Amino acid sequence: MYYGVKLMMNAKSAWLEGMKNWEGRLPERMIDDQLEESFWDQFLQRKRAEVATDGYVQELGRELLSFIEEGDEVLEIGPGWGNYTFAAASKAGALTCVDSSASVLGYLEREARAKGLSNMSFVHAKWEEYEPPARHDVVFGVNCYYRMQAIDQAMAYMNNAAKRWAVIGMTSGPEKPHYWEIYEKLGYKIRFSRRDYIHLTNLLYELGIDVNCKIVPLQKTYVYETEEQFVSQNLSAIMETDYDRAKAEAILRNHLSWVDGKPAYVHHFKAALLYWRPERTISLTR
């Protein structure tokens, strides 16, 4: 148990507030399980024709794999389309994937067979409602917490299910820099991200977990078919209904790059790895 300075705040409340959009409402996908399932079903139908793993996560994947030892029993929360799943399964002795989407699990199971991976198992459940029947050497999840309202229970279950390491991965800021320039120079309201790894850091602190944090630099290059697509997609977070598009576009174009003759945006951002060695079982009073 870690006893630190009392922060006199409620990290769970801050997390729940951050789930709301900039209009102060919970997006439908946050509360409608069927809508979330439909999203993943449609997304994975498109994904089959694309590269299975996003290139920008390779560096984060290497850091994540350093927690896994040969032969480990590993549990992954919310694997999505498998950015880290198959690499983890290739190194671990066994990998269990827990996800609330049947479409995701079906996709991963098909991909596992295609890759000749026979050490994977799949559990259809919401992590914050699921208590694994056995502990695993490593429990990890990356960018899978966005719908979890019982986030304190989710963190407690991670702690309780891990023998050696519990690991949280979460991509972070900075936001695309042109948005900050538009906000500061033109005063326009921007739909900035409302949650970050610091929310989970504070929540773990309140649960008595002395968590470590490693920041991993990342880069993603967005390539567009046309300049109009480059402009429209990179001004979409402006909340103003009536704004000077020419001025905003002038700021944006300072960040225009070209890849194979197509307009592109190179975004440098970061990810946080929060990791700890579980010291005790955490029981929450409901």
Confidence category of residue 264, pLDDT binned at 50, 70, 90: very high
Does the structure show a pLDDT above 80 at 9? Answer: no
Q: Give the best-scoring range by mean pLDDT among 2-11, 41-50, 192-201.
A: 192-201
Q: What was the pLDDT predicted at 239?
A: 96
Q: What was the pLDDT predicted at 47?
A: 73
pLDDT digits (tens, 9 = 90+) for 163-185: 999 999 999 888 999 999 999 99
Tokens encoding 57: 């996560």
* Cβ atoms of 151 and 128 closer than 8 Å: yes
The CA distance from 167 to 142, in Å, is 8
Averaged confidence pLDDT in the chain: 93
Does the structure show a pLDDT above 90 at 4? Answer: no
pTM of model > 0.85: yes
pLDDT digits (tens, 9 = 90+) for 27-72: 999 999 999 999 999 988 887 655 445 667 888 999 999 999 999 9
- Return the bridge partners of 121, or none: 96
Domains of the chain, by residue range, sit at 11-218+269-276
Tokens encoding 266: 């190179």
First-residue to last-residue Cα distance in the chain:
20
Does the structure show a pLDDT above 70 at 87? Answer: yes
Q: What was the pLDDT predicted at 189?
A: 96
Q: What was the pLDDT predicted at 192?
A: 94
CATH assignment, 11-218+269-276: 3.40.50.150
